[in-house]
Amino acid sequence: MKQFSTILFLSLWATLFFAQTTVSTTYGPISGSTEEGTLAFKGIPYAKPPVGNLRWQAPQAPSAWTTAKMATAFAPKCPQKNFESTNPDTAIIEGQEDCLYLNVWTPALSGKRPVMFFIHGGGNQQGSASETVNGTLLYTGKFLASRKDVVVVTINYRLGALGYLAHPAVAAASTSKTSGNYGTMDQVFALEWVKNNIERFGGDPNNVMVFGESAGAVNTSVLLTVPSAKNLFHRAGIQSGSPIASPYLLGENFGKSFASRMGCATGTLEQQLACLKALPIDKIIAELESPLSGGKVSLGWGPVVDGLVIPKDPASVILSGQHHKMPVMLGSNADEMSASSPLVVTPAQVRTLFDTQVPEAYEAEGLTLYPPGTTNAQARQSYIQALTDAQFTAPARRLARGLDLFQTEPVWRYLFSHSQAGLGSIYGAAHGLELAFIFQSVEETNYGKGAFYNNNDKVVAKAMLDYWTNFARTGNPNSSGLTIWPTYDWQKDPYLDIKSPVASAEGLRTQKSDYWDRARGVSTSTRQPLSLLGVNMKMPTLYQEGARVSLSLEEDLTLQIEVYNLLGQKISTVFQGNLSAGEHLLALKIPEAARGMLLLRAQAGGRSLGVKIWKE
């Protein structure tokens, strides 16, 4: 009898547990598990597997099911190279094409909580929602959910060529006659799943924060300009990234080059497509290169301006006030490129960096701001800071300014400058270090369990937990007991310095950011960008002999137009003179030797405006 009672009790407990962790989604029931005081649902399919004929197609709804799926383990990551596992030449290929799954952590199934929707980084060619660091899950939602009463969602999305291939053969077979941006479409599709299902997990579909780091930040900022993402999220967190999307022609040429390397560049478009779709995964993934090499960010695969999913250049959309307006928090880390830069950098390498990466007119100034020094240690510090500021600090300021100028919703900027004690201190506040503090997963790392984990780490972890969840809840990161995080003002450039103790300040690396703005041919200082003063420059995306640039001026200007390559090296000056207010059509002669993607930059009175063009 006692044995029977025990069996009955266990049976009733199992039934009750199953009922408490089972949710009926729009596609079918799923059963999760308990985790650190939360309910966790892992490996939820949000789209049909993009395999076979669905390779390089928009995501589609998964087939419905009636029997509860066990959602207790992460799904495989999308196909990629694990560059961190070994050296790039022998990097491990991992993941599978059937990878469009998401994960949810919630304190309870009832109620309406803010939703924190995270997009992982990895150069849009590696990474996953189940990313681990030395065996510790990085993007766990259990701490955010249990400690701050929020719902956390993490997702996988297609990467590399599978996620971003733009190619004429793929476009020809599409009803839209465009190609690319499959990873972006996956992100929107996952947000649609959240809108339709998250209330069943105790979340509020009308209070969704999308945040991402690195390529995830690029994708988050791009989503601010994607029409199909409108009303799917209401706050944005942009960590170490800014809106980047290649012109369609550039993306398509990149795709053609890929197809050629794959042996799929001959025959009709139908034959080329059949060849591409028949490619084995290992062959597609084998040609990927690390997105971080030598401290330089490479985004070969990523969003393209296809005219449909991404109708216009995202940065231009924001700088014309046509983006989805919402509260935004954004920032970067103090030493972004420290972990990916060479361990030994010589003074000569610093000089070479400026010789090859900036226009000649700005080389001397750059070497003054970032002196090569006389030792390798001094050289490496300048090398790291130059690449950090050029690729993260200055772009973060440009994005903050653009948002502040073109929306009434508040913007907050931060600098993460905290570094860990012990051996990790040599890298300072490296790229991605803040993630373990936001997700609180630092506690489960070897560092967090060891003797070096100290009160400074705990101060930073607590602050980031509070700021990020406050922002998700209300659109304002501030609350009682926290150092006040000032809202952004494009003229003062205020920011929160996240370290121990947390502090607020103004003017983050102003002189250096001004320098990179000038060197890169974009708006600088606290003066309004040239485009805001009524200069509109239009140029055919594809340059041909005799192509003309259309200029509309609201005031008389002394104007200079120069052509640069993508390394920032000046090729020539194609116009210099005085122009009166009004409409002008100028014929520009670009040197015959210049080929590929070029930057056309107009300058007047210390202000500038740039457009990208392609020259065959």
pLDDT confidence of 583, banded at 50, 70, 90? confident
The rounded Cα 347 to chain-centroid distance in angstroms is 32
Would you say 188 and 510 are in contact if contact means Cβ atoms under 8 Å apart?
no
pLDDT confidence of 294, banded at 50, 70, 90? low
Residues 222 and 353 in one domain: no
The tally of domains found in the chain comes to: 3
Final residue belonging to a domain, choices 318, 351, 379? 318
Residue 469, domain member (yes or no): yes
Residue 391, domain member (yes or no): yes
Residue 524, domain member (yes or no): no
Residue 324, domain member (yes or no): no
Whether residue 504 is predicted with pLDDT greater than 70 in this model: the reply is yes
pLDDT for residue 605: 65
Select the more confidently predicted residue: 195 or 574.
195
Whether residue 19 is predicted with pLDDT greater than 80 in this model: the reply is no
Record the tokens describing residue 274, joined without a space: 């059949």
Kindly state the average pLDDT of the residues 89-98: 84
> For residues 190, 195, 197 and 200, what is the CA-based torsion angle, rounded to 10 degrees?
140
Spatial separation of the C-alpha atoms in residues 140 and 565, rounded to whole Å: 42
pLDDT for residue 89: 56
pLDDT confidence of 492, banded at 50, 70, 90? very high
> For residues 400, 210, 475 and 503, what is the CA-based torsion angle, rounded to 10 degrees?
-60
What residues contact residue 578 under an 8 Å CB cut-off, 6+ apart?
Answer: 556, 557, 558, 559
Q: How far is CA 600 from CA 540, 572, 579, 583, 613, in A?
A: 11, 10, 18, 19, 7
Sign of the Cα torsion 462, 464, 467, 470 reads negative
Residue 326, domain member (yes or no): no
Final residue belonging to a domain, choices 482, 516, 550? 516
Residues 309 and 439 in one domain: no
* Phi and psi at residue 36, to the nearest 5°: 55, 45
Percent of the chain at pLDDT > 90 equals 67
Residues 58 and 177 in one domain: yes
Residue matched to tokens 């070029």: 598
Residues 461 and 598 in one domain: no
b/e string for 346-359 if b means 16 or more Cβ within 10 A? bbebbeebbeebbb
Residue 417, domain member (yes or no): yes
Residues 366 and 249 in one domain: no
pLDDT confidence of 614, banded at 50, 70, 90? low
Select the more confidently predicted residue: 21 or 274.
274
Nearest to 461 by CA among 128, 147, 135, 119: 147
Residues 537 and 467 in one domain: no
Record the tokens describing residue 429, joined without a space: 């506040």
Residues 179 and 295 in one domain: yes
pLDDT for residue 287: 79
Kindly state the average pLDDT of the residues 449-469: 95
Give all strands (DSSP E) within 148-266, no chain letters. 151-155, 203-213, 235-239, 246-247
Spatial separation of the C-alpha atoms in residues 421 and 325, rounded to whole Å: 39
Kindly state the average pLDDT of the residues 305-309: 95
Would you say 456 and 466 are in contact if contact means Cβ atoms under 8 Å apart?
no
Would you say 141 and 154 are in contact if contact means Cβ atoms under 8 Å apart?
yes
Whether residue 130 is predicted with pLDDT greater than 70 in this model: the reply is yes
pLDDT confidence of 533, banded at 50, 70, 90? very low
The CA-CA-CA angle for residues 217, 222, 224, to 5°, reads 105
Sign of the Cα torsion 123, 129, 130, 135 reads positive
**CATH (domain of 184):** 3.40.50.1820
Residues 442 and 500 in one domain: yes
3-state secondary structure of 159: coil
pLDDT for residue 535: 43
Record the tokens describing residue 576, joined without a space: 């210099």
Whether residue 262 is predicted with pLDDT greater than 50 in this model: the reply is yes
Spatial separation of the C-alpha atoms in residues 33 and 72, rounded to whole Å: 6
Residue 523, domain member (yes or no): no
Would you say 418 and 223 are in contact if contact means Cβ atoms under 8 Å apart?
no
Whether residue 538 is predicted with pLDDT greater than 80 in this model: the reply is no
Spatial separation of the C-alpha atoms in residues 153 and 116, rounded to whole Å: 6
Over the stretch 110-124, which tens digit does the pLDDT of each residue have?
999 999 999 999 999
pLDDT confidence of 564, banded at 50, 70, 90? confident
Residues 74 and 131 in one domain: yes
Rg over CA atoms, the chain: 25
Give all strands (DSSP E) within 87-162, no chain letters. 92-94, 101-106, 113-119, 132-133, 136-137, 151-155
Over the stretch 374-429, which tens digit does the pLDDT of each residue have?
999 999 999 999 999 999 999 999 999 999 988 999 999 999 999 998 877 889 99
Residues 575 and 477 in one domain: no
Residue 323, domain member (yes or no): no
**Cβ neighbours, 10 Å, residue 15:** 10
Spatial separation of the C-alpha atoms in residues 205 and 194, rounded to whole Å: 7
Burial of residue 303 (number of CB atoms within 10 Å: 0-12, 13-18, 19+):
buried
What residues contact residue 194 under an 8 Å CB cut-off, 6+ apart?
Answer: 115, 117, 153, 203, 205, 208, 232
Would you say 551 and 579 are in contact if contact means Cβ atoms under 8 Å apart?
yes
Kindly state the average pLDDT of the residues 293-299: 58
pLDDT confidence of 16, banded at 50, 70, 90? very low
Percent of the chain at pLDDT > 70 equals 85
Burial of residue 278 (number of CB atoms within 10 Å: 0-12, 13-18, 19+):
exposed
Which residues are catalytic, by number? Answer: 214, 336
The range of the structural domain enclosing residue 549 comes to 532-615
Record the tokens describing residue 35, joined without a space: 């985790």
The CA-CA-CA angle for residues 441, 443, 448, to 5°, reads 125
Over the stretch 330-377, which tens digit does the pLDDT of each residue have?
999 999 999 989 999 999 999 999 988 888 889 999 999 999 999 999
Residues 313 and 336 in one domain: no
Q: How far is CA 25 from CA 152, 195, 228, 324, 614, in A?
A: 16, 11, 22, 28, 47
Nearest to 596 by CA among 571, 559, 562: 571
Record the tokens describing residue 255, joined without a space: 């795709």
pLDDT for residue 506: 98
Q: What is the DSSP string of 252-303?
A: HHHHHHHHHHTT--SS-HHHHHHHHHT--HHHHHHT---SEETTEE--SSS-
Spatial separation of the C-alpha atoms in residues 67 and 69, rounded to whole Å: 6
Whether residue 530 is predicted with pLDDT greater than 50 in this model: the reply is no
Would you say 328 and 411 are in contact if contact means Cβ atoms under 8 Å apart?
yes
b/e string for 402-423 if b means 16 or more Cβ within 10 A? bbbbbbebbbbbbbbbbbbeee
Over the stretch 172-219, which tens digit does the pLDDT of each residue have?
999 999 999 999 999 999 999 999 999 999 999 999 999 999 999 999
**CATH (domain of 607):** 2.60.40.1930
Residues 266 and 184 in one domain: yes
What residues contact residue 245 under an 8 Å CB cut-off, 6+ apart?
Answer: 222, 302, 303, 304, 305, 310, 313, 314
Spatial separation of the C-alpha atoms in residues 398 and 527, rounded to whole Å: 12
pLDDT for residue 180: 96
Spatial separation of the C-alpha atoms in residues 316 and 529, rounded to whole Å: 12
Whether residue 501 is predicted with pLDDT greater than 70 in this model: the reply is yes
Beta bridge partners of 85: none
Give all strands (DSSP E) within 354-440, no chain letters. 411-416
Over the stretch 52-91, which tens digit does the pLDDT of each residue have?
999 999 999 999 999 999 999 999 999 999 865 445 556 6
Final residue belonging to a domain, choices 295, 318, 341? 318
